[in-house]
Structure 1
Amino acid sequence: RGGGGAAASAACACPICLESFQDEAYLDTCFHSFCYKCICQWVKIVSTKRAEPLSSVQCPLCKTVNVSIIHGFDGESFQRHYINQDPRKRHLSHTHELISQFYSIKYITGHTSSVQQFWKQRKYLRKNIWLQTWLRQEIQALTQDENVDTIVYHIHGVIEAFMKRQEKEYTSKTTPPEKKREKFKCLLSDAARPFLLGRTERFVTEVELFLVSHLNIDAYSKVRVQRLKESTSHVSREQDVLPQDRSLEDHYLYFLGDETDCNGEI
C-alpha cells in the first residue's frame, strides 16, 4: 500500500522539480506534463547549447520532439507557448496575428434581419468558393498551428454535408428557417469544439457571418480590420450612423446591402 501511495504522489509531481505541479503544462506531441516554469527553464538551458534558435525540443522523459508547450488550460481554453517565438518561422502571417487579435474583441450576438434572410431566402444554396481557404486561415490563427488540414477537412465536410441536405430538401419547405439555422450552428459547434474549446461559439458566429456576407476573403478581412481598429481606438467613423447597442453581426452587415435571394429575386 505504501508503494502505491508513493507512486500516486510521484504521478502528481513535476518530473523536473519533483514538487507538486504549479501551472501544469504539457508538451504538444507526447503530452508529458511539467510545471510551466520548469519546462520553460529546461528549454532555455537546452537552447544555450545550440548555435541556432530552437524550433523544437525533445521531451526530458521520452525524447519525443515537440514544437510547443500547452499551459493555462481551464477546461475551455488554453495558451500555447511555441519553442520558436518568431511567427515567421512557423509560417504564420501578419493576417493570422490580426485574426488572433480580432477574437479577443468582446461582442454581443444578435438575430439581424440580414442573417434571417440568409436562411429564409435560401441564400446558403449559393456555393461559397472561398470557404475552405477561409476556414484554414481562421483555424491556423486560432490554434497557432500551420498544419490544420485534418481539422479543416472535418469542419468543411460538416458544412458541405449540411448544405447538400438543404439542396435536397429545397422543394419540401417543411423545416422553418430558424430550425435550419439552429441545426447548422449545433452541428458546426459539435465539429469545432474538440479543437477550439472556449472559442467555439465565437468561431461559429464568424463562420455564419462570412457565409452571409458573400464577400471574398480580402474584402471580408477589410471589414474585420475596420472593426478591430474601432475597438482598439474607441473611435467609430460610423458612430453617428450606427446605434451604440448595434451587435457585431449588425456592424458587419451594415457594409452589405444585398437583399436578393439565391435566384436573384427580391
Structure 2
Amino acid sequence: MESETAAASSSSSSSSSSSSSSSAATEASCCPICLDPLTDHAYLDRCFHAFCYKCITKWVKFAAAKHPRPLSSIRCPLCKVENLSIIHGFSGGSFQRRYVNQDQRNRCLSGAHELRSHVYDREGEIANNIFDVQRYWKSRKYLWQNMWLQNWLRREIQTITQEEDADVIVHHIQGVVESFMARQQKESLKGTPEQKREEFRRLIFGAAGPFLLARTKRFVDELELFLASGLNIDAYDRVYMQRLSMSSSRDTREIDAESSDQSVQSRFLYFLNEDDAD
C-alpha cells in the first residue's frame, strides 16, 4: 500500500513538473506584448528579452511620442533595462539591427561584436546550460577538429579588446588550443576527463590572461561552450541568444510577474488597437 502511495505521489510530482516546464516553455515562446506566438523574432540588445518585431517597434514609437527630443535608448517594457537597439531579421549568417537613435548606426565593429560585448558585460551570468560541457570531455569530442575556431576566436578577442587587429592574440591562443588537442591524440587514454578539462582551462587562462585581463575567466568559459556546441558560429549565436532570452524572461517573471504582465498588457492592447484603427 505504501509503495502504491509513493508511486502515485511520484507520478503526480512528475506530472506537475512536466506541466510546469511545458507552461514555462509556452510562455517563453509568446510575445509579452501581443501574447501571441512570436513572429519575426526581435531581441533588445542588452537585456535580450524577445518580442515580435512589429510589437517592439510600435512600443518604441509609442514611447518616443511622449518625449520632445529623439530618444537614444529605450527601456525594456518588462525589466526596465535601457537598450540601444533591436536585433531582428535573422537569416543565415546575418541579422539586422535597428537603433533607437539611427545616428548611432556607425560603429567600428559589427553588430555581432556588440552583441557579444553585451554577453561579456552580464556579470555573474553565463548560459552554461545551453550545451553539455562535461559530456564534451567525457565523450572525448575534444579530439575532433573545429573548423570555425579561428573565426570565433577572432570575433571574441576583437569584442573584448575593442581592437580590430587581433591576429597576434588569435594565433597565440589558437596555437595553445591546437597543441593541447594534438597532444591528446597521442595521450587520449591517459588521465580522467576532469583532469584533461582542468589542464585545458589552465593552459588557455595562462595564454589569454595577459591580453584579456579581467575578462579571461569568462572567455575560457565561453570558449568551452563554443567547442562543446559543435555548431558553426551562426547556429551557435542563434541558440545562445534564444537561451539568453528565455533566461531573461524567467528572471523577470520571478521578480515581478503579476505587475509587469498586467501593466504591459493593458498599455499595449490600448495602443496597438488604436494604431490598427488608424
TM-score, L = length of structure 1: 0.51
CA offsets, 1:2-27, max 9 Å, x none?
xxxxxxxxxxxxxxxxxxxxxxxxxx
TM-aligned CA deviation for residue 236 of structure 1:
8.3
Return closer, same or farther for 1:217/1:109 CA change in 2, 3 Å cut-off: closer
More helix by share: 2
TM-aligned CA deviation for residue 121 of structure 1:
1.6
Find the partner of 2:214 among 190, 194, 198.
Answer: 198
TM-aligned CA deviation for residue 203 of structure 1:
0.5
1:96 aligns with 2:105: no
Q: Decide whether the 8 Å contact of 2:127 with 2:244 is kept in 1.
A: no
Return closer, same or farther for 1:210/1:196 CA change in 2, 3 Å cut-off: same
**1:26 maps to which residue?**
none
**2:14 maps to which residue?**
none
Q: Decide whether the 8 Å contact of 2:113 with 2:156 is kept in 1.
A: yes
Once residues 232 and 176 of structure 1 are traced to their aligned partners in structure 2, the CA distance between those partners, rounded to angstroms, is: 36
Return closer, same or farther for 1:219/1:101 CA change in 2, 3 Å cut-off: same
* Equivalent residue runs for 1:92-131 within 5 Å: 92-105=109-122, 106-107=124-125, 114-131=132-149
Secondary structure of 1:103's aligned partner: helix
Q: Decide whether the 8 Å contact of 1:139 with 1:148 is kept in 2.
A: yes
Find the partner of 1:133 among 151, 172, 195.
Answer: 151
Return closer, same or farther for 1:87/1:199 CA change in 2, 3 Å cut-off: farther
Secondary structure of 1:107's aligned partner: coil
TM-score, L = length of structure 2: 0.49
* Equivalent residue runs for 1:63-102 within 5 Å: 88=106, 90=108, 92-102=109-119
- Bigger RCO of structures 1 and 2 (CA < 8 A, at least 6 apart): 2
CA offsets, 1:54-83, max 9 Å, x none?
xxxxxxxxxxxxxxxxxxxxxxxxxxxxxx
Q: Decide whether the 8 Å contact of 1:185 with 1:204 is kept in 2.
A: yes
TM-aligned CA deviation for residue 152 of structure 1:
0.1
- Alignment-mate amino acid for residue 94 of structure 1: G
* Equivalent residue runs for 1:27-42 within 5 Å: none
Once residues 126 and 143 of structure 1 are traced to their aligned partners in structure 2, the CA distance between those partners, rounded to angstroms, is: 29
1:179 aligns with 2:195: yes
| Deviates most, 118-127 or 150-159 | 118-127
CA offsets, 1:153-188, max 9 Å, x none?
000000000000000113xx1211110000000000
* Equivalent residue runs for 1:1-266 within 5 Å: 88=106, 90=108, 92-105=109-122, 106-107=124-125, 114-170=132-188, 173-230=189-246, 232-234=248-250
CA offsets, 1:101-156, max 9 Å, x none?
01122326879993222112211111100000000011111111100000000000
TM-aligned CA deviation for residue 86 of structure 1:
7.0
Number of residue pairs matched by the alignment: 150
**1:20 maps to which residue?**
none
Query: Identity of aligned pairs, percent?
Result: 53
Task: Give ranges in structure 1 of 5+ residues lacking alignment.
Answer: 1-84, 238-266
Once residues 159 and 227 of structure 1 are traced to their aligned partners in structure 2, the CA distance between those partners, rounded to angstroms, is: 27
Secondary structure of 1:127's aligned partner: coil
- Alignment-mate amino acid for residue 112 of structure 2: T
Once residues 222 and 111 of structure 1 are traced to their aligned partners in structure 2, the CA distance between those partners, rounded to angstroms, is: 15
CA offsets, 1:237-265, max 9 Å, x none?
9xxxxxxxxxxxxxxxxxxxxxxxxxxxx
